Amino acid sequence: MITLQYEIDIDANAQKVWNVMWDTHTYSQWTRFFSPSSRMQSDWKIGGETLFQDASGDGMLATITELEQFKKVVFQHQGMLKNGVVDRSSEDAQQCCGSLEQYFLSEHNGVTHLFAQVDTSEQYKTIMDQGFQQGFAVIKQLAEEK
């Protein structure tokens, strides 16, 4: 398991950046670089359930371990989804269980610094690098629109 980090400065307040990241209408715009039909469903509760999946129901099951609206959210992966069915026992699922996906926003003078830290296996490094770099550029573009 490796830990990757991504960051960008955005000329918008933290609430606007947060909303662009997690609103159902804009989430798929920045995450399309990971999967063209990417979507997220969450109860937004610590210890609750969050599903990251594509149109076929493949993806990840996670729970939120830390949440401070407009500032921080930490997802802990709990398993994989295959056709919408939770898998916690396969080798792939075991590798991702416990891994973290963390997002931090800090605002100073109307500029928000967005920082993400993600645990993943070496085989997904290129996908993560491309997805986050391109995705963060979209978040920046959408949040900076007046």
Task: Judge whether residue 93 has pLDDT over 70.
Answer: no
- The answer to whether the CB of 68 falls within 8 A of the CB of 46 is no
d(CA 56, CA 36): 11
Q: For residues 81-105, give the mean pLDDT.
A: 81
Q: What distance lies between CA 40 and its chain's CA centroid?
A: 9
Task: Judge whether residue 26 has pLDDT over 90.
Answer: yes
Q: For residues 5-14, give the mean pLDDT.
A: 98
pLDDT of residue 43: 96
Both tokens of 110, joined, read: 């109307």
Number of Cβ within 10 Å of residue 89's Cβ equals 11
Structural domain total, the chain = 1
Q: For residues 70-77, give the mean pLDDT.
A: 96
d(CA 93, CA 66): 22
CATH number of the CATH domain containing 102: 3.30.530.20
**Vertex 113: Cα angle to 109 and 64 (nearest 5):** 125
Task: Judge whether residue 146 has pLDDT over 70.
Answer: no
φ, ψ for residue 63 (rounded to 5)?
Answer: -130, 155
Write down the residue that tokens 């729970």 correspond to.
63
Its domain, for residue 60, covers: 2-144
Task: Judge whether residue 117 has pLDDT over 90.
Answer: yes
d(CA 40, CA 68): 18
pLDDT of residue 29: 95
Beta bridge partners of 105: 114
pTM: 0.91
Average pLDDT, the chain: 92
Q: What distance lies between CA 68 and its chain's CA centroid?
A: 15
Closest CA to 75 of 87, 84, 66: 66
